[in-house]
Amino acid sequence: MSHVVKTVKLPRTLALALARKAKAQGRTESELIREGLERITSDDDGLDMQALIGPDIGIGHGPRDLSSSRKRLRGYGRSRNR
C-alpha cells in the first residue's frame, strides 16, 4: 500500500493528549491518527478513481516522435484561422 504524507496542525492540548495516549498504548501517534481517520471516513462510499483507472494511466498510442519531428511540428502554435 502506498502512503501519502499529510501535514496536520493540531492545537497544543490535542497534540499533548495524542502523545500521552500513544505512549500509554505503546503505539505511534501516526497509528492513532490513521485509526481516527478510518473511523470518521468508514461510511464514505465514494469511488477510488485511481484504483479504477490506474492500470490505464499513462498508456497512450501515437507516434513516438510527436514532440521532436519537424514535420509534425509544422504549423504548431499558429491560429487555424489564418
The residue extents of the domains of the chain are: 12-42
pLDDT of 74 reads 79
What is the tens place of the pLDDT at every residue in 45-73?
A: 777 777 778 777 776 777 777 777 888 77
pLDDT of 82 reads 56
pLDDT of 53 reads 80
Quickly list H helices, the chain: 12-25, 29-41, 49-53, 70-73
Report the candidate in 13, 12, 18, 16 with the shortest Cα–Cα distance to residue 32. 18
Give the pLDDT band of residue 81 (cuts 50, 70, 90). low
pLDDT of 37 reads 93
What is the tens place of the pLDDT at every residue in 14-23?
A: 999 999 999 9
